[in-house]
Amino acid sequence: MRMIAVVLFALAAGCKAEPEPVARTSPSASAAPAAEHFGEAITATQSASLVDVAHNPGAFKGKTIVTQGKVTRVCQERGCWMAIKDSASDATVRMHGHAFFVPTTSAGREARVQGTVMMTKDGHECDEMEAVGAQLEIDATGVELGPPRS
């Protein structure tokens, strides 16, 4: 009987005790989802904005660069291409040799792309002399997708 009284007393005392304070953290940038990687790791050291490449495509053609922009469209079949846009320029990004794909739901996300700069016209690569009206294209070997940007 004495044992039951001790147990009841301990339970009653525990109920009246102040709860331990719980550390609360507000959502922060560190709580943002991690970036997703597709294809090879991004290791190129030359970085260029789409605006810079569009204004001087000859200086970048055939070179491997890292660029970034907001994904505006994605191939809905398999994710084998996407379009990205920065402040004033855009480019089509093709996944090199269909070696990898991005999610078909990637539109609106921030993309960081490593690839070779190409100029295409009517679906074919063109040189500087034919570049009038050509589309900036990047043959991507690696893509990193971050969360949507506002």
Residue 39 lies in a domain: yes
Residue-wise pLDDT for 75-111, tens only, equals 999 999 999 999 888 999 999 999 999 999 999 999 9
Q: In total, how many domains does the chain have?
A: 1
Percent of the chain predicted with pLDDT > 70: 67
pLDDT (tens digit, 9 = 90+) per residue, 34-69?
789 999 999 998 899 999 988 887 788 889 999 999
R_g of the chain, CA atoms, integer Å: 26
Residue 102: domain span: 35-148
Grade residue 31 by pLDDT with cuts at 50, 70 and 90. low
pLDDT score at 80: 94
- In angstroms, the CA 69 to CA 107 distance is 11
List the CATH number of the domain containing 64.
2.40.50.200
In a domain, 20, yes or no: no
Query: Cβ–Cβ contacts within 10 Å for residue 103, how many?
Result: 14
Residue at 28 is within a domain: no
pTM of the model: 0.70
